[in-house]
């Protein structure tokens, strides 16, 4: 029957009684499987851990700049490792660094959650923030925003 139609006879379940076969174009099937695999690789994302370093004596403007940087990384779908560096006598007051990290976590709470709570390791205190959106969603939103911006720019030039 397969020869009459010009297709291939493919054995699907050889262990079944009787064996199950299907008449199909095997070359086309292999091509479609390869296309699906390629599409899956294109949609694959790599989550990167970005790092931002702070000190307990940071000024308000510098803190706002660092907070904006953390938000940008989180909106891009990346995790952020926030490191609080203690120098000299600052090491005797780790609670100041802990409060600063908690304040940062509260400030970016709408785009992040605390993945690892602040933890003291020698001279540094670290905390990891994870994005609330998945990387694929964040990348798709950024592409849509860029496209809308380009269309708006094209309309204004006309």
CATH numbers and ranges of domains, the chain: 2-43 (3.10.20.80), 49-136 (3.30.110.10)
CB atoms within 10 A of CB 63: 15
Question: HSE (CB half, 13 Å, CA atoms) of 145?
Answer: 8
Q: What is the pLDDT of residue 7?
A: 87
Q: Are 106 and 99 within 8 A, CB to CB? A: no
Q: How far apart are CA 146 and CA 144, in angstroms?
A: 5
**Above 70 in pLDDT, residue 63?**
yes
Q: What is the pLDDT of residue 128?
A: 94
**Cα dihedral across residues 91, 93, 97, 98: positive or negative:** positive
- Crossing angle of helices 60-75 and 94-107, in 10° steps, is 50
**Above 70 in pLDDT, residue 49?**
yes
Q: In this structure, what DSSP letter does residue 158 have?
A: -
**Above 80 in pLDDT, residue 135?**
no
User: What would the mean pLDDT of 115-122 be, rounded to a whole number?
Assistant: 90
Which tops the pLDDT comparison, 99 or 144?
99
Residues 6+ apart with CB under 8 A from 11: 19, 20, 21
Question: HSE (CB half, 13 Å, CA atoms) of 91?
Answer: 7
**Alpha carbon 16 to chain centroid, angstroms:** 44
User: What would the mean pLDDT of 101-125 be, rounded to a whole number?
Assistant: 90
- For residue range 5-40, list pLDDT tens digits in order: 888 888 888 888 888 988 888 899 899 999 999 888
**Above 90 in pLDDT, residue 82?**
yes
User: What would the mean pLDDT of 126-142 be, rounded to a whole number?
Assistant: 82
pLDDT range class, residue 158, cuts 50, 70, 90: low
Question: HSE (CB half, 13 Å, CA atoms) of 18?
Answer: 2
């Amino acid at each position: 029957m397969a020869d009459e139609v010009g297709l291939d006879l493919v054995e699907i379940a050889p262990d079944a009684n009787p064996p199950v076969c299907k008449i199909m174009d095997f070359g086309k099937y292999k091509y479609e499987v390869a296309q699906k695999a390629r599409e899956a690789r294109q949609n694959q994302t790599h989550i990167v851990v970005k790092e931002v370093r702070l000190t307990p004596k940071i000024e308000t403007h510098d803190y706002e700049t660092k907070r904006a940087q953390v938000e940008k990384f989180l909106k891009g779908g990346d995790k952020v490792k926030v490191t609080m560096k203690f120098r000299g006598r600052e090491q005797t007051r780790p609670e100041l660094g802990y409060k600063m990290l908690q304040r940062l976590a509260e400030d970016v709470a709408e785009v992040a959650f605390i993945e690892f709570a602040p933890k003291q390791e020698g001279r540094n205190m670290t905390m990891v923030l994870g994005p609330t959106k998945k990387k694929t969603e964040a990348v798709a939103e950024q592409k849509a925003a860029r496209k809308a911006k380009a269309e708006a720019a094209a309309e204004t030039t006309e």
